[in-house]
A and B are shown apart, each in its own frame.
Chain A
Amino acid sequence: MLVVKPVKAKSKALLDPSGSVWSSIAASSLSLKTTPAGTQPTSYTKVAGKQRGEAAVTSASMRLCHDGQRIYVHLEWKDENEDLATDGNGFPDAAAVLLPLGNDAPINQMGSEQQAVNAWQWRAGDEQGRSVVARGVGTTEPTPDPVEVAAARAGNRWRVVISRSLAGAGSDSVALATGGDSRVGVAIWEGSVGERGGFKAFTENWTDIRLAE
């Protein structure tokens, strides 16, 4: 169980991926795997997935905190290329945090019909984050939650902060509360090798978290 501690810091400081507040928070290491071609949602992506190599990113570090109002997820991983893909060729780097709406939601299937999952996404070059709900692969739909994101390059690494209100905005948004438990997963897309959609690196297992009061 990873305890998400409360911090006394302004949102602006927490949304600085290289800010000093993050150096005081312990990092968890994540191991990421390639999504199997068989779980891709369409016949085309299954075929194309079989021809792809392993996902590019195999490890990342994660730091979590909350300020009583919002939860902040800090991700850091090695990536030699900063891919913004602004000219329409190639794909942007991206990352997402996944939380289950029902605690038994399968992470490797992006949830199920009965057990949805809620993802908060960052995409390089986009100023706003995005929240989606999924009930199985290929079923993501946007939810109205404002997701704040911030990203910075630190040498050959990405540092990204993804933040959302603890309460969430609706029935398809995971509701968090101090004193409560939840679980998180992470996905990372390496744009330079064409990772997007279901082609990504992801954590095969949930990390259990508890939001300390």
Chain B
Amino acid sequence: MARTRKGSAGGSTRQVAMVFDLNKCLGCQTCTIACKRLWTRDEGMEHMWWATVNTQPGRGTPKDWEEMGGGFRDDVAQAGKLPTTRDFGEAWKFNHEEVFYGGKGQDVHLKPEGDPDWGPNWDEDQGGGEYPNSYYFYLPRICNHCTHPACLEACPRKAIEKREEDGVVLINEDRCRGYRFCMEACPYKKIYFNHARKVAQKCIFCFPRVDQGVAPACARMCPGRVRFAGYLDDEAGPIHKLVKQWKVAIPLHPEYGTEPNIYYVPPLAPPRLDENGDIDESNPRIPDEYLEFLFGPTVHDALAILKKEMEKTRAGGSSELMDLLISRRWLDMFHELERDPASLEWSTGT
């Protein structure tokens, strides 16, 4: 039976959310590294990337996660596959010692030890389509902090909570026994297992920062101004405007039934070229069915709105939506979460 959900935030009074503008993501992985440096450097976390960016079309991280099940169909939980560390892509060890300190810098290439056949970005920049109409775009992913979290419902230890004040979904490591039902149940496969601590771990939406009005590290560090962060109900903030008002930001795989709170501005692409090399506006370069597979049928509405607003600016007019997406003033992307983390005085916890 489905858990009771109140309002739009799954029983929480507010809901944090992010919007990722896929038209601005250039796959630099700065978000990925910002998260890694801050949260997943301890033993047992070697293979963890709470924030990932994968090339689409592609097999993603973990490998083929979209075929692993979980989530809900007609509000009924669906069985899922447990991803392995190989699926996620194990942390490779490199021959740093040999190349940099062993006197072989001129003879030996820097390379991973062993013979890895998968990694978190193994199929980076491969994409789809045929030249000259090949295409790809980047898809950043974090935990969706779902309104209807499959992980929370699956856990027999009641180790997962959705915070009342902001809807952040957190795993209580004191209660977790490492059963990993959450990892099977999460249809986005964004939960990892820490073999050293024997607990499941995942993105925490940088809640210690959010608690003090600071945007999550992945959002603040993004040099492309891709990641808007804030509260869904903040009508003056960008999240509400993009999701609720303009309806150009839509969730990934809404059919998974968990009501995710990470939203995407879907990708536009250059037009196709026909056999003569002329521009063919009649067929999209990124196939409609592929975008529908990722974002559901509302992707076409979102793209139509984007195109209409772009036309306005092309014609010399102005567009509030385009200004919002361009984000001329960087901190406007975070609104209630625009505080500078350097201004914080952190408690040492003693």
Are chains A and B native binding partners rather than an unrelated pairing? yes
Known A51-B79, A88-B193; contact A44-B154, beta-carbon cutoff 8 A: yes
- B156/A197 in contact, CB under 8 A: yes
Chain B interface size, under 10 / 10 to 19 / 20 to 34 / 35 or more: 20 to 34
Contact pattern, B 25-55, Cβ under 8 Å of A = 1, otherwise 0: 0000000000000000000100100000000
Distance A42 CA – B153 CA, assembled complex (angstroms)? 7
Interface of A is mostly: loop
- B1/A87 in contact, CB under 8 A: no
Contact pattern, B 98-114, Cβ under 8 Å of A = 1, otherwise 0: 00000000000000000
Distance A120 CA – B275 CA, assembled complex (angstroms)? 72
A41 is an interface residue with CB less than 8 A from chain B = yes
Picked from B44, B80, B184, the residue with its CB within 8 Å of the CB of A88 is: B44
Contact pattern, A 7-48, Cβ under 8 Å of B = 1, otherwise 0: 000000000000000000000000000000000111111111
Distance A136 CA – B67 CA, assembled complex (angstroms)? 34
- A47/B76 in contact, CB under 8 A: yes
Distance A191 CA – B153 CA, assembled complex (angstroms)? 23
- B77/A44 in contact, CB under 8 A: yes
Distance A47 CA – B181 CA, assembled complex (angstroms)? 11
B179 is an interface residue with CB less than 8 A from chain A = yes
- A42/B1 in contact, CB under 8 A: no
A198 is an interface residue with CB less than 8 A from chain B = yes
Contacts of B78 in A (CB 8 A): 47
Contacts of A41 in B (CB 8 A): 156
Distance A54 CA – B328 CA, assembled complex (angstroms)? 61
Known A43-B1, A43-B153, A51-B79; contact A88-B181, beta-carbon cutoff 8 A: no
Q: Which residues of A from 119 to 163 have beta carbons under 8 Å from B?
A: 137-138, 140
Distance A45 CA – B177 CA, assembled complex (angstroms)? 15
Known A41-B156, A42-B153, A47-B76; contact A89-B184, beta-carbon cutoff 8 A: no
Contact pattern, A 67-104, Cβ under 8 Å of B = 1, otherwise 0: 00000000000000000011111010000000000000
- B156/A88 in contact, CB under 8 A: no
What distance in Å separates the Cβ of B261 from its nearest Cβ neighbour in chain A? Answer: 20
Q: Which residues of B from 112 to 162 have beta carbons under 8 Å from A?
A: 150, 153-158
Distance A47 CA – B71 CA, assembled complex (angstroms)? 12
- A42/B179 in contact, CB under 8 A: no
- A47/B194 in contact, CB under 8 A: no
Chain A interface size, under 10 / 10 to 19 / 20 to 34 / 35 or more: 20 to 34
A168 is an interface residue with CB less than 8 A from chain B = no
Contacts of B84 in A (CB 8 A): 89
Distance A86 CA – B85 CA, assembled complex (angstroms)? 12
Known A47-B77, A48-B79; contact A42-B156, beta-carbon cutoff 8 A: yes
B5 is an interface residue with CB less than 8 A from chain A = no
Distance A85 CA – B196 CA, assembled complex (angstroms)? 11
Distance A194 CA – B178 CA, assembled complex (angstroms)? 12
What distance in Å separates the Cβ of A89 from its nearest Cβ neighbour in chain B? Answer: 5
What distance in Å separates the Cβ of B46 from its nearest Cβ neighbour in chain A? Answer: 10
Picked from B157, B185, B194, the residue with its CB within 8 Å of the CB of A44 is: B185
Contacts of A43 in B (CB 8 A): 1-2, 76-77, 153-154
Taking CB as reference atom, which chain B residue is nearest A85? Answer: B195
Contacts of B80 in A (CB 8 A): 48
Contacts of B158 in A (CB 8 A): 138
- B194/A88 in contact, CB under 8 A: yes
Contacts of A47 in B (CB 8 A): 76-79
Contacts of B177 in A (CB 8 A): 196-197
Distance A137 CA – B156 CA, assembled complex (angstroms)? 9
Distance A57 CA – B23 CA, assembled complex (angstroms)? 54
B82 is an interface residue with CB less than 8 A from chain A = yes
Contacts of B179 in A (CB 8 A): 196-197
B76, B84, B178 interface centre (most CB from chain A within 10 Å): B178
Distance A198 CA – B155 CA, assembled complex (angstroms)? 11
Contact pattern, A 167-199, Cβ under 8 Å of B = 1, otherwise 0: 000000000000000000000000000101110
What distance in Å separates the Cβ of A180 from its nearest Cβ neighbour in chain B? Answer: 31
Taking CB as reference atom, which chain B residue is nearest A51? Answer: B79
Known A42-B181, A44-B154, A45-B156; contact A88-B76, beta-carbon cutoff 8 A: no
B44, B155, B156, B195 interface centre (most CB from chain A within 10 Å): B156
16 sample A-B contacts, Cβ–Cβ < 8 Å, listed by A number:
A42-B155, A42-B156, A44-B77, A44-B154, A47-B78, A47-B79, A87-B85, A87-B195, A88-B194, A89-B85, A91-B180, A140-B157, A196-B177, A197-B156, A197-B179, A198-B156
Shortest beta-carbon contacts, A-B, top 6: A88-B195, A44-B154, A44-B77, A197-B179, A41-B156, A43-B77
Residues of B that sit less than 8 Å from A by CB: 1-2, 44, 47, 76-80, 82, 84-86, 150, 153-158, 177-181, 184-185, 193-195
